[in-house]
């Protein structure tokens, strides 16, 4: 059973994951408007991943006899200057999520909740991958100065990305 403090923290994180889903959906819409379907695909996959993350936490809380309390999801930004700015904001947002996951892990460790700490380890590892991916794409965008053939090549590369839910672990 989750402590009230840990349950509240999980509920906050679920809200942050759902906001992330909404944010990336907004970014996908911007990319579709720019006819950059590969970038839009990248953000649509991110949208699916964030929904998966939220539901993974949702199910964990309910499996621990906790109560999920959904809160209002803020509106994400809808105006962006460029795809380079999108990835600057994406990296900034993922760093915010990493900090939040780490704080949630700190609560689990402090409360000696081994089940929650074990569960959260997957998210800690996932955030390393999230930030790394965003940094690499941002580096490429800066290298091509966010335009021209380089931009189209990155767009084509991102079009191949697909969402594959992680396999259940034993």
Greater model confidence, 76 or 145: 76
Residue 119 scores a pLDDT above 50:
yes
Residue 165 located in a structural domain: no
What average pLDDT does the segment 84-94 reach? Answer: 96
Q: Residue 82 and residue 10: Cα distance in Å, rounded? A: 34
Q: Around Cβ 72, how many Cβ atoms within 10 Å?
A: 7
Residue 167 located in a structural domain: no
What pLDDT digit, counting tens, does each position of 126-137 carry?
Answer: 999 999 999 999
Residue 164 located in a structural domain: no
What's 22's domain CATH number?
1.20.1260.10
* Domain count across the chain: 1
Q: Residue 131 and residue 147: Cα distance in Å, rounded? A: 23
pLDDT band at 156 (very low <50, low <70, confident <90, very high): confident
Domain extent for 108:
4-72+79-159
Residue 135 located in a structural domain: yes
**0.75 surpassed by pTM:** yes
Residue 148 located in a structural domain: yes
């Amino acid at each position: 059973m989750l402590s009230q403090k840990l349950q509240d923290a999980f509920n906050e994180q679920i809200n942050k994951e759902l906001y992330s889903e909404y944010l990336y959906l907004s970014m996908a819409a911007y990319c579709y408007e720019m006819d950059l379907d590969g970038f839009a695909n990248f953000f649509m996959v991110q949208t699916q991943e964030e929904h998966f993350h939220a539901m993974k936490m949702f199910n964990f809380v309910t499996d621990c006899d906790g109560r999920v309390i959904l809160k209002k999801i803020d509106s994400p930004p809808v105006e962006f200057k460029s795809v380079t700015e999108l990835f600057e904001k994406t990296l900034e947002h993922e760093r915010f999520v990493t900090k939040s996951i780490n704080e949630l892990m700190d609560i689990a460790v402090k409360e000696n909740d081994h089940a929650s700490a074990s569960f959260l380890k997957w998210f800690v590892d996932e955030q390393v991958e999230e930030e790394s991916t965003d940094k690499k794409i941002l580096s490429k965008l800066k290298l091509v100065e966010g335009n021209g053939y380089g931009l189209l090549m990155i767009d084509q590369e991102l079009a191949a990305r697909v969402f594959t839910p992680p396999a259940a672990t034993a």
